[in-house]
């Protein structure tokens, strides 16, 4: 009889390991993403091969030492970066919890139970009105992972951690891009301000010349007033550019995790990005671009949670054990005769549960499909951003050549018109128009140079560069 009991106990202990072979959860496989194709990038003028500028460190992409210092400061102090790190730490704690789910739960502690008995009760007639029992008990409980629910939850926590890690890299990439773009924009505004101040001084001199020409009878008061108007236009432009610079410096300071301050910088003419614009092939987005990586880990997390929700339909096997000391007298509590032990096993099959299990499973399926669609959307957005950056780079390069020729023509026209005016051969309005066109063309040329630098930075970010 005792031997049969031992066999039953051994069989009950081995049963969970035998049932593991019936593991019901599925293994994740990356879905076929038809959105990834050679046409994802519109790289008509650039060859696609395995080379990819995203694999180049930002320290090699950006050569300006002051810009590098700003990026390093931002990576250390930026608030968004620090928030992302805290999110990673929280996700890491959940990973540790998932790993610990394989182990049994163990609790222990002393207890005192004082019971006042009725004299007419079954035990009250044997005891003198009350019983005080002292216990030191340990309880052990372990759920067998027959259907892989614990394993799926563990994998889901791991995927959530890796998603937070990828999100941290995405924040890092975005931060580097924002710092570089804001830095280049500051340099372009500085250059425009320099030109505006030079124009202001030139127009002050022109006003004096115009007033002298009026006294000589070569121009009328209309010409004088129009020159004054152009002077005030230049003054307003200087005020506008100085304000834009101050506002941009304030925004730049936030990226550095600091209060509003003046930003140290060089000048636009020193900025060169010489790294080749290699886009690689679209499939490299799956391992280079952090937001795409995060989207896939979100899909893996949803997939594993669906596995765990499916496992709730099946019975759960729990093994329990408890033991310790029990005594009615405190001085005999740790006596060998006070020892007790209980062993148990339970198999629980949910039958009616207010539809909670099915609802949870259906919700997890919908969330998994949502995560899949977000994954595909992330790939499409990445492809669009690469295409946009390439198009902007090509357009900016072409515009610079055109605007350089335009500015040269307007600048010559301005000089010729002033000579003709001094000889009384043209109307003063033509001089004013030529000057205004030359100024606008010069400002547009600076914008085109900034847009070219901006498009290179955006291409680097769109390909997933910056976090390496």
Does any domain span residue 271? yes
pLDDT digits (tens, 9 = 90+) for 173-219: 999 999 999 999 999 999 999 999 988 888 888 788 778 877 777 66
pLDDT digits (tens, 9 = 90+) for 59-109: 989 989 999 999 999 999 999 999 999 999 999 998 988 888 888 888 888
Does any domain span residue 15? no
**Residue bearing the bigger pLDDT, 56 or 274:** 56
pLDDT digits (tens, 9 = 90+) for 293-330: 999 999 999 999 999 888 888 888 888 998 888 888 88
Does any domain span residue 1? no
Q: Could you tell me if 113 and 230 lie in one domain?
A: no
Burial 153-189 (b: 16+ CB within 10 A, else e): bbbbbbbbbbbbbbbbbbbbbbbbbbbbbbbbbbbbb
* Rounded average pLDDT over 10-20: 49
Residue 150: partners with Cβ closer than 8 Å, 6 or more residues away: 101, 102, 143
**Residue bearing the bigger pLDDT, 302 or 410:** 302
Q: What is the pLDDT of residue 240?
A: 95
Q: Could you tell me if 232 and 259 lie in one domain?
A: yes
Q: Kindly report the average pLDDT of the chain as a whole number.
A: 83
Q: Give the global pTM.
A: 0.83
Q: What is the pLDDT of residue 123?
A: 67
CATH number for 137: 2.20.200.10
Q: What is the pLDDT of residue 211?
A: 83
* Rounded average pLDDT over 388-397: 89
* pLDDT over 80 (residue 7): no
Provide the residue range defining the domain that includes 325: 105-144+315-348
Q: Could you tell me if 52 and 35 lie in one domain?
A: yes
* pLDDT over 80 (residue 43): no
Does any domain span residue 228? yes
Q: Residue 60's Cα: distance from chain center in Å?
A: 23
Q: Could you tell me if 139 and 204 lie in one domain?
A: no
Q: Could you tell me if 227 and 275 lie in one domain?
A: yes
Does any domain span residue 127? yes
Q: Could you tell me if 30 and 114 lie in one domain?
A: no
Q: What is the pLDDT of residue 188?
A: 95
Are 465 and 288 in contact by the 8 Å Cβ rule? The answer is yes
Q: Could you tell me if 52 and 62 lie in one domain?
A: yes
Q: Could you tell me if 136 and 180 lie in one domain?
A: no
- The confidence band for 368, taking pLDDT boundaries of 50, 70 and 90, is very high
Q: In the structure encoding, which two tokens stand for residue 49, read together? A: 């091969």
Q: What is the pLDDT of residue 173?
A: 93
Q: What is the pLDDT of residue 208?
A: 81
CATH number for 186: 1.20.1600.10
Q: How far apart are CA 184 and CA 196, in angstroms?
A: 18
**Residue bearing the bigger pLDDT, 32 or 366:** 366
Label residue 19 exposed, middle or buried (CB < 10 Å: 0-12, 13-18, 19+): middle
Sign of the C-alpha dihedral computed for residues 65, 67, 70 and 76 taken in this order: negative
Q: Could you tell me if 264 and 328 lie in one domain?
A: no
Q: How far apart are CA 36 and CA 34, in angstroms?
A: 5
**Residue bearing the bigger pLDDT, 411 or 265:** 265
Are 282 and 337 in contact by the 8 Å Cβ rule? The answer is no
Are 393 and 459 in contact by the 8 Å Cβ rule? The answer is yes
Domain tally, the chain: 2
Q: Could you tell me if 113 and 98 lie in one domain?
A: no
pLDDT digits (tens, 9 = 90+) for 128-157: 677 888 888 888 888 888 888 889 889 999
**Residue bearing the bigger pLDDT, 276 or 421:** 276
Residue ending a domain, choose from 332, 348, 364? 348
Does any domain span residue 320? yes
Query: Which of 210-219, 222-231, 360-369, 445-454 has the lowest average pLDDT?
Result: 210-219
Q: How far apart are CA 21 and CA 283, in angstroms?
A: 36
Q: Could you tell me if 210 and 165 lie in one domain?
A: yes
Label residue 375 exposed, middle or buried (CB < 10 Å: 0-12, 13-18, 19+): buried
* Rounded average pLDDT over 247-262: 94
Q: Could you tell me if 336 and 454 lie in one domain?
A: no
Residue ending a domain, choose from 348, 371, 390? 348
Q: What is the pLDDT of residue 387?
A: 87
| Closest of 430, 434, 427, 431 to residue 407, by C-alpha | 434
Q: What is the pLDDT of residue 4?
A: 56
């Amino acid at each position: 009889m005792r031997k049969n009991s031992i066999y039953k106990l051994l069989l009950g202990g081995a049963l969970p390991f035998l049932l593991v072979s019936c593991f019901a959860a599925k293994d994740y496989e990356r879905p076929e993403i038809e959105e990834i194709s050679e046409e994802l990038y519109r790289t008509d003028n650039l060859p696609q091969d395995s080379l990819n500028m995203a694999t180049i460190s930002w320290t090699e992409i950006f050569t300006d030492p002051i810009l590098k210092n700003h990026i390093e400061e931002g990576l250390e102090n930026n608030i968004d970066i620090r928030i992302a790190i805290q999110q990673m730490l929280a996700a890491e704690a959940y990973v540790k919890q998932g790993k610990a789910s394989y182990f049994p739960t163990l609790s222990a502690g002393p207890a005192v139970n004082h019971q006042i008995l009725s004299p007419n009760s079954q035990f009250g007639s044997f005891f003198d009105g009350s019983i005080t029992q002292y216990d030191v008990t340990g309880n052990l409980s372990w759920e067998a992972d027959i259907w892989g629910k614990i394993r799926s939850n563990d994998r889901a926590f791991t995927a959530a951690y890796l998603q937070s890690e990828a999100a941290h890299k995405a924040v890092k990439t975005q931060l580097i891009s924002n710092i570089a773009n804001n830095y280049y924009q500051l340099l372009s505004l500085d250059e425009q301000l320099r030109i505006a101040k030079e124009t202001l001084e030139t127009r002050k001199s022109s006003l004096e010349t115009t007033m002298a020409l009026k006294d000589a009878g070569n121009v009328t008061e209309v010409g004088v007033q129009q020159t004054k108007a152009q002077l005030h236009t230049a003054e307003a432009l200087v005020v506008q550019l100085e304000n834009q610079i101050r506002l941009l410096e304030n925004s730049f300071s936030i990226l550095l995790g600091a209060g509003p301050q003046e930003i140290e910088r060089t000048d636009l003419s020193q900025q060169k990005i010489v790294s080749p614009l290699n886009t690689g092939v679209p499939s490299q987005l799956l391992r280079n671009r952090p937001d795409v990586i995060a989207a896939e880990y979100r899909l893996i997390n949803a997939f594993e949670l669906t596995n765990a929700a499916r496992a709730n339909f099946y019975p759960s096997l729990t093994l329990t054990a408890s033991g310790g000391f029990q005594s009615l007298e405190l001085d005999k509590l740790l006596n060998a005769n006070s020892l007790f032990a209980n062993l148990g096993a339970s198999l629980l099959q949910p039958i009616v549960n207010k539809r909670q299990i099915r609802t949870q499973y259906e919700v997890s399926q919908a969330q998994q499909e949502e995560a899949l669609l977000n994954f595909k959307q992330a790939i499409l957005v990445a492809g669009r951003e690469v295409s946009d950056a390439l198009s902007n780079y090509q357009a900016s390069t072409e515009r610079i050549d055109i605007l350089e020729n335009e500015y040269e023509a307007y600048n010559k026209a301005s000089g010729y018109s002033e000579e003709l005016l001094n000889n009384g051969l043209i109307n003063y309005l033509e001089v004013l128009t030529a000057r205004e066109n030359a100024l606008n063309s010069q400002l547009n040329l600076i914008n085109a140079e900034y847009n070219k630098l901006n498009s290179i930075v955006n291409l680097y970010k769109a390909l997933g560069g910056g976090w390496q």
